[in-house]
Copies of this chain bind each other. A is one copy, B any other.
Amino acid sequence: MRKKILEMLKSADGDFISGEDIAEKLNVSRTAIWKHINKLKEKGYQIISKENRGYSLPEMPDILLPEIVQEELNTKIIAANLEKFIYFDSIDSTNKFAKKIANEGAKDGTVIVAEEQTGGKGRLNRDFFSPKSKSILFSLILRPNCLPKDAPKFTLAAAVSIIRAIEKFNLHAGIKWPNDIIFENKKVVGILTEMSAEIERVNFIVIGIGINANISAEEFPEDIKKIAASLSEMNGGKNILRVKFFRAVLEELDKIYSEINSDGFEKILELWRKYNVTLGNEIKIISADSGEKFFGKAVDIDEDGALIVETSDGLKTFYAGDVSIRKA
């Protein structure tokens, strides 16, 4: 019902439609229409009500609501129906919620999106800055048929998907191993991938993605100003439409996920190499395994997505760690 009301308002293109007209067309009472309109207003739709004229919707709001995002969304698996798109105005952590419902059986391709996270965490339990409705915060549940050792490659694939969405907007960024999206050496997108697995198969993967969308440089807290950037900054200070960007990301994720399911990771690793800003550079890496620091030249990623570094002690392979680029 609410979707139908929205469609009518949308097709009126900002003009007013009377409650009576809507009620008649949908065959319900005017009071019912009034109640639905109030619900839509609560959700964030800026509907104008005027006595004797009715209702008008001047523009669709830039809110990541299912009805808005899914309207023109072209995906096969990811967020492909209402059941697979869960929206929160505010939640502690989309990854936490995603893990909970995935344990209870949530489907392959389910997306949980929130305008605000009150307890959002980055990798290794680090805090994650995300002012309300200025970021794009979501978690994606995947159920691929693979081994636990394949999970890191999904995080590379997510990074590639986001870069491709960025390119669709004629903007440009790079990937720092394994999955940071980087603009002018500052981080624009953080990805936190988690999995539940048996030894010989993955139960599910949850990819949590936090995109700094319309945050100006001044808005970042002092301690992360030097290391954080946003899409609007990349866009010369102009805000981007979050709904549109979110759609593009979901579509790229969907394409790449289908590709992985049919052809494996080979092409993804190729694309990752193309977009990365780590390989070929002198880097410092702090191994997640031992906490030890290493210096050397990042030479390649292997077929598992691990980083190969040429150190003074020879080639070393890193499965996880923190990279900083010392010299391009």
| Residues of chain A at the chain B interface (Cβ within 8 Å) | 99-100, 103, 123-124, 147-149, 151-152, 155, 178, 192-201, 203, 288-289, 319-321
Contacts and interface: CB of A to CB of B under 8 A. Distances in A.
A198 B103 contact: no
A93 to B, nearest CB: 12
16 contacts: A99-B196, A147-B288, A147-B320, A148-B149, A148-B197, A151-B197, A155-B199, A193-B198, A194-B198, A194-B203, A195-B196, A197-B197, A200-B288, A200-B319, A200-B321, A201-B320
B320 A123 contact: no
A320 B289 contact: no
A198 B123 CA distance: 8
A272 to B, nearest CB: 14
Label chain A's interface by main secondary structure. mixed
A123 B199 CA distance: 9
A99 B196 CA distance: 9
A144 to B, nearest CB: 13
A235 to B, nearest CB: 30
Given A124-B200, A124-B201, A200-B321, A151 B148 contact: yes
A196 B194 contact: yes
Contacts of A194: 196-198, 203
Nearest to A96: B103
A194 B198 CA distance: 4
